Amino acid sequence: MYQQSSGSLSELTFDPAERGAAANGISDGGIIAGEEIGGSSGLQAGFWTVTGGAILFSGGSQGNDWAVAANDGGTIVGDFGASGAPGNVALMWTAPGYAETALPGLRCDFCLRVNIAVNAINKGGAAVGHSSYAVYDSSGGLVGNGLLAVEWQSDAVTSLGSLQHSGTSDAYGINDGGDIVGGSRISPAAGAPTHAFLYHGELMVDLGTLPGDTNSSANAINDAGQVVGSSDDGNTTHAFLYEDGQMHDLNTLVDPQSPLAGQVTLEAAASISSNGWIAVNGKDSRDTGLNAGSTRAFLLIPQTP
């Protein structure tokens, strides 16, 4: 856990004997969703608080589950993964008892494997992710199937559809106003590019790509409607900020006076806070030897003009 006010980087653990742990998301009030990396038991979901508390869940999926996001109401969401049936399942844990609930998927007649995952949750408890679906007719013929971005509210699941009816999409972020972002293929054709989208007012809008690129994906949106993610041409990837109807390469927005200017390539923006601070992954050209090509984490803080 990094705190910019003090510059401190603190290790988060559930148990000193664990093999490791991962933190995947943090709420405005400081609830941090993640998981313990155990031995033969695999992954076990839980959360920390910035004040020092830590809880591991002990639900029915214990042993191969992880938490990805939390809100300040004490609701944690995550996923359970396994080969074969039931496959991947989206999960929700709710305070104060943190009983585990499986989130429903889209219609899936006669499916042997479920592919459902949750990626984010807002303060109102609306969560987003994806779900596989398959629909058959009365004679057993396949009518349609795919993987679509979905939203969960009050234990009900709703499909967000896909760009150009491509049949493939995923939702990665949602703000407190209910705006959703993610990525969707732009055509049903095999190998079709994926573009970042914004879902607002029951309409999915294609955000396009940076100039010259073919693919993009949006990872997060704040309450001001600023969207961040990544865009690529198949070889190089650049982080972007989308606002006021335009997609900007974050590398071009770095202050030229910054010691990182010209040294760092920002590749993927992971999240953006309500005040516009952006967490980005990238590479530093000065890394050499064993560190050459390593991915580093960066924090971008907007400056007042």
Provide DSSP, 141-174. Answer: -EEEEEEEEEEEETTEEEEEE-GGG-SBEEEEEE
Q: Which residue has the tokens 């929700």?
A: 92
In whole angstroms, how far apart are CA 6 and each of 3, 9, 270?
6, 9, 22
Query: Residue 138 has what pLDDT?
Result: 83
Distance spanning both ends of the chain, measured CA to CA: 30
More confident residue, 9 or 110: 9
**pLDDT at 139 (0 to 100):** 85
- In whole angstroms, what is the distance from residue 196 CA to residue 174 CA? 14
The region of weakest confidence among 91-105, 116-130, 182-196 is: 91-105
pLDDT at residue 84, as a whole number: 58
What pLDDT is attached to residue 107?
81
pLDDT band at 305 (very low <50, low <70, confident <90, very high): low
- β-strands 87-94, 114-121 pairing: parallel
Q: Mean of the pLDDT values across residues 129-148?
A: 86
Range among 26-40, 106-120, 136-150, 241-255 rated most confident: 241-255
> Nearest to residue 109, comparing CAs of 142, 152, 131, 149?
142
Angstrom distance (rounded) from CA 97 to CA 74: 10
pLDDT at position 64: 86
pLDDT of residue 40: 59
Order across the sheet with 54-56: list the strands. Answer: 20-26, 31-37, 43-49, 54-56
Look at residue 140 in the predicted model and tell me its pLDDT.
80
- Global pTM reads 0.93
